[in-house]
A and B are shown apart, each in its own frame.
Chain A
Amino acid sequence: MSRAVTQTPFSPEDMARRRKRAIALALVLAGLVVLFFVTTIVRLGGNAGMRSF
Chain B
Amino acid sequence: MGGFHTDISGTAAAQGGQGTAGDYFALLKPRVMSLVIFTALVGIVAAPGTIHPWLGAVALLAIAVGAGASGALNMWYDADIDAVMQRTASRPVPRGAILPGEALGFGLTLAAGSVLVLGLLVSWAAAALLAFTIFFYAVVYTMWLKRSTPQNIVIGGAAGAFPPMIGWATVTGSVDLGSIALFLIIFMWTPPHFWALALWREGDYAKAGIPMLPVVAGPDETRRQILIYSLLLVPITFLPPLLGTAGLFYTIAAVILGAAFLYHAAQVYRRREGAAADRACKKLFGFSILWLFLIFAAILVERGLGLAIFQPVIG
Q: Which residues of A are in contact with B by a Cβ distance under 8 Å?
A: 10-11, 14, 17-18, 20-21, 24, 32, 35-36, 38-39, 42-43, 45
Q: 10 A-B pairs, CB-CB below 8 angstroms? A: A17-B17, A17-B19, A17-B20, A21-B21, A21-B24, A32-B117, A35-B121, A39-B55, A39-B121, A42-B55
B314 to chain A: which residues have CB within 8 Å? Answer: none
B117 touches A35 (CB 8 A): yes
Say how far A41's CB is from chain B's closest CB, in angstroms: 9
Cβ-neighbour of A21 out of B12, B20, B121 (below 8 A): B20
**Using Cβ atoms and an 8 Å threshold, which residues of chain B touch A39?**
54-55, 58, 121
Name B residues whose Cβ lies closer than 8 Å to a Cβ of A: 12, 17-21, 24, 52, 54-55, 58, 61, 117, 121
Report B-chain residues with C-beta under 8 Å of the C-beta of A17. Answer: 17-20
Q: Are B21 and A20 in contact (CB under 8 A)?
A: yes
- Which residues on the A side are within 8 Å of B58 (C-beta)? 35, 39
Bound CA–CA A46/B85 (angstroms): 55
Closest Cβ–Cβ distance, residue A36 to chain B (whole Å)? 7
Q: Which residue of A lies closest to B21 (CB)?
A: A24
Given known A14-B12, A36-B121, contact A20–B20 (CB-CB < 8 A): yes
Shortest A52–chain B CB gap in Å is 24
Say yes or no: B17 contacts A14, CB within 8 Å: yes
Other than the known A14-B12, A20-B21, A35-B58, what 4 A-B pairs have Cβ atoms closer than 8 Å? A14-B17, A17-B17, A35-B117, A42-B52
Residues of chain A contacted by B52 (CB below 8 angstroms): 42, 45
User: How far in angstroms is the closest Cβ of chain B from A10?
Assistant: 8
- Residue of B21, B24, B55, B117 with most chain A CB atoms under a 10 A cut-off: B21
